[in-house]
Amino acid sequence: MTSRILIVDDDEQDRALYQAWLSDEYEITEATNGEDGVRKCLETPPACVIMDFMMSGSDGFHALIELRKMLNSEVPIIFTTDYGNKEVEEDALALGATAYIPKSELSSTQLKETLINAIEAAQL
């Protein structure tokens, strides 16, 4: 059975890039803001969420907090951002993100490895 990944990002190009990198191995669902991401995650919990920090509407931090309240730590959440720094990384991890990857450092290989590790850790 193919694992489902939820990509929550308001940047269409980033969503398309993640889709291209991951669609051969995963079923991909997309959301364009945090509120829609929370709704889709609760409707059908994915194996993992890839979530942007800065989005129009509900941002990644608010969505992360909501998901952790509702799902506890069941679903791994990989936090990404163009606007990150050490403080954003620390805050994201403290709020329950499983991993943090600045978009400037993101590659297909790194994203796939992070996804595999996050999903495997959640299944333990």
pLDDT tens, residue by residue, 89-108: 899 999 989 999 999 989 99
CATH of the domain at 35: 3.40.50.2300
Give me the number of domains the chain comprises.
Answer: 1
Predicted local confidence at residue 73, as pLDDT:
64
As a residue count, the chain comes to 124
What pTM value is reported for the model? 0.91
pLDDT tens, residue by residue, 24-48: 999 999 999 999 999 999 899 999 9
Host domain of residue 94: 4-122
Residue 86 — pLDDT band, cuts 50, 70, 90?
A: confident
* Residue 55, φ and ψ in degrees, nearest 5: -140, 155
d(CA 14, CA 45): 22
